[in-house]
Structure 1
């Protein structure tokens, strides 16, 4: 059952067999995004990956499909607070299908489900400052920057920290007692602002009940 349908994408709950299909995704060529590559996992490890992503009270996970029924992305809401009616968005796309408008379309479709079906009050996300493409996408979907902070980088063992050929990227990081740090922006979209801006969005969406 689709929970949301956009012009280019359809979103539904993550299933175990989806994880097997995601392992055939492409790979990022930019070392700053290596940690977004789908990991090489054994069947047992994929079982565990699915278990960690699905079925938690404070987390919901979904896949994004295109019109050819290809799984081209993964979307999650983590740190769900049902009392505060808010959560944090995370999204990863197959590198083979980036720059095709799928990210904006999928997020726009999902927001209709999030605010209208789940009846949530606000949604937040974090993005590394250097990830300018993603930040532009989020702004296009209505998110606003509400702050910046220095945080631990997601992959503390990233190749950029020890491979000399990636030395040019190290200036984006700060070494501290907590590990390698970088600057992130925190972005937010509130339901009132979403409802106000939805008519001006270029991506028209529909939403369905589960």
Structure 2
């Protein structure tokens, strides 16, 4: 999936475990993607991401590259019927959820997150029949919220006891 010459999004594979362990053990990533008190080692990465790579769970993992260098992670999943009801969507809506992070701190605030999210959602609207893509950043994650708004997402309502925004982007 490459529509931008410098940002490439490819499916994650077993060769990516070490870089994921590196990213998921940094405070800059874990502050909003995980738990700063629970960094990932290689075994924890394998335990979580191996079933995703194998297609055993309904979450598809991707690695984001800048040039040929891995710099981030993005994943997608179809919203369950139960979640559709909870969030007020119709059973006819094709809703995808996404989660992502840039793993290289010196690449924060350079527009790369906007490029990768825009490229990813354009793919789902154009090729997967999606009519809604959602995400749920923590309220305190101002940098991510600004990125998502640049990509066309709007705040819908607070969820998770007011700790996260449900944000959506519609065709």
1-structure distance, mates of 2:78, 2:109: 28
Are 1:41 and 2:41 an aligned pair? yes
Give the SS at the match of 2:165.
strand
**Residue 128 of structure 1: which of 119, 138, 145 is its match?**
138
Once residues 46 and 112 of structure 1 are traced to their aligned partners in structure 2, the CA distance between those partners, rounded to angstroms, is: 28
Change (3 A) 1:29 1:45: closer
Q: Mark the runs of 5 or more structure 1 residues left unpaired by the alignment.
A: 152-180, 192-210
Greater share of strand residues, 1 or 2? Answer: 1
CA shift, 1:147, in A, is 0.9
Match of 1:53 in 2: 52
- TM-score scaled to structure 2, two decimals? 0.77
Return the alpha-carbon distance in structure 2 between the equivalents of residues 52 and 22 of structure 1.
15
Which aligned pairs between 1:40-189 and structure 2 lie closer than 5 A?
40-42=40-42, 44-54=43-53, 55-56=55-56, 58-67=58-67, 69-80=68-79, 84-96=93-105, 97-149=107-159, 151=160, 183-189=163-169
Give CA-to-partner distance per residue, 1:45-103, whole Å, 9 cap, x none: 43322223321463221110001x11111101124459631111100111422122210
Number of aligned positions between the proteins: 157
Structure 2's unaligned 5+ residue stretches are: 81-90
Kindly indicate whether the alpha-carbon contact (under 8 Å) linking 2:20 and 2:45 is maintained by their aligned counterparts in 1.
no
1:190-209 aligned within 5 A? 190-191=170-171
Higher RCO (C-alpha 8 Å, min separation 6): 1
Distance 1:30 1:10 in 2: 20
| Aligned-partner Cα distance in 2 for 1:132–1:41 | 28
The structure with the largest alpha-carbon Rg is: 1
> 1:33 & 1:145 partners in 2: Cα distance?
18
- Offset, 1:104: 0.3
- For normalisation by structure 1, the TM-score amounts to 0.64
1:120, 1:9 → 2: CA distance?
Answer: 22
CA distance in 1, matches of 2:9, 2:154: 24
